[in-house]
Amino acid sequence: MKIRRESLVNLLNKYAIFVVLIIMAFAMTLTTKDFLTVQNLINLFSSESSRGLLAVGVGLVIIAGGIDLSVGAIMALTSVITASLVQQSTYSNRLWVELPFISTFFAILVGLACGAMVGVVNGVIIAYTKTPPFITTLGTMLIVKGLALVYTNAYPVPMLRDDFKIIGQGKILLIPYIVIVFIFILVIAWVLLNYTRWGKNLYAIGGNELAARVAGVNVEKNLIAVYIWSGCLAAISGILLTAKSGSGIGTLGDKYEFDAIAAAIVGGLSFSGGIGRISGIFAGIFILGILNNGLLLMNVSPYLQQIIKGVIIITAVVVDMRKHKRRD
């Protein structure tokens, strides 16, 4: 067999998603005068960061051959729980009137622990009972959503302390903390996926769980870890968004899981597992983000926006299926 150079078509295929991203950015710059402004770009980044965190969380789950529908609900639960710990002591309608002072740091830890715990529940059920991840996380999604509403009686948890709100509202040189956290997590996820045992194991489990098991991969442990990862990122996103908005909301992150999954799929992750890159997830988030942002700037009706998004998601997957079509 003779070896040929990678053809232009192959290269285009490989980086198609970035080409699309760049073309979209160009198109938006040309058609709207507000797109390429510092303020708009910062807005774009900070609004996509919260969804982006979810997408990076769910993305790893999808690579391992699973799915996590509970991430939006986790945002809501961490939002109300964390918020209830950092309400101003002068506010008389506090959720816990008797609550002593709790440091912001500890409150964040509690929030993270909530996310991690839902992750453990998801992971254990999926790994040990072999319940399909879709069903399991659909169930936990409902439970966790319910918990968030039960906890607050569906009232918001307002009047949060300034030292908490700063983590969502503060910025370094115009760049909000939330964007920095998102980029930091992207880098971590990239390192984990490409340079660690865990990352390699996730790909293997997603690619062929039985083969991975025979090769001595601890499938259960790795799966539980990936659902914890996804739960924690949802919690981080929930905490940051709560701090940004200044109050805990029991319906925060509603339907965010679909945006996150959509971004991951547009970014080239395969639902059957084993395929996907962090750069793809990044591109997926911003393709949908620029679309949102641009259509808004162009005053396109929100209903039409939904239709356009749906078409884009399906198109992305159809194109991707062709790309991954096996040689035989």
Residue 219: which H helix or E strand, with range?
helix 219-245
Min dist CB 14 to other proteins, Å, is 12
Distance between CA atoms of 159 and 175, rounded to whole angstroms?
25
Element housing 265 (H / E): helix 256-266
Range in contact with other proteins (rule: CB under 8 A) among 1-9, 91-99, 125-133, 244-252: 1-9
215 binds other proteins (CB under 8 A): yes
What is the Rg, in whole angstroms, of the alpha carbon atoms belonging to the chain? 21
CA 199 to centroid of chain Cα atoms:
17
Stretch of residues binding other proteins (CB under 8 A), selected from 37-45, 70-78, 214-222, 281-289 = 214-222
Minimum CB separation of residue 154 from other proteins in Å reads 43
Please report whether residue 14 would count as binding other proteins according to CB under 8 A.
no
Residue of 1, 8, 38, 172 interacting with other proteins (CB under 8 A): 1
Q: Is 3 in the site for other proteins (CB under 8 A)?
A: yes
Contacts of 208 (CB under 8 A, 6+ apart): 274
Length of the chain equals 328
The reply on whether position 198 binds other proteins by CB under 8 A is: yes
Q: Does 204 bind other proteins (CB under 8 A)?
A: yes
CA atoms within 13 A of residue 257's CA, in its CB half-sphere = 24
145: closest CA among 60, 53, 48, 255? Answer: 255
Question: Smallest distance, Å, CB 277 to other proteins?
Answer: 13
**What's the gap between Cα 172 and its chain centre?**
23
Within 267-306, the residues that bind other proteins by CB under 8 A are 270, 274-275
Sole window of 23-31, 38-46, 203-211, 231-239 interacting with other proteins (rule: CB under 8 A): 203-211
Residue 323 is a binding residue for other proteins (CB under 8 A): no
Question: What is the closest distance, in whole angstroms, from the C-beta atom of residue 327 to other proteins in the complex?
Answer: 5
Structure tokens of 184? 């930091």
Size of the site for other proteins (CB under 8 A): 33
- Determine if 200 is a binding residue for other proteins (CB under 8 A): yes
Name which position in 207, 279, 296, 312 contacts other proteins (CB under 8 A): 207
Among 201, 230, 237, 251, binds other proteins (CB under 8 A): 201
How many angstroms separate the CA atoms of 142 and 69, rounded?
Answer: 10
Rounded to 5°, angle at Cα 182 from 124 and 73: 40
For residue 184, how many other CB atoms are within 10 A of its CB?
10
| Cα–Cα distance measured from residue 220 to residue 213, given in angstroms and rounded to the nearest whole number | 9
Binding region for other proteins (CB under 8 A):
1-4, 6-7, 10, 195-198, 200-201, 203-204, 207-208, 210-218, 270, 274-275, 324, 326-328
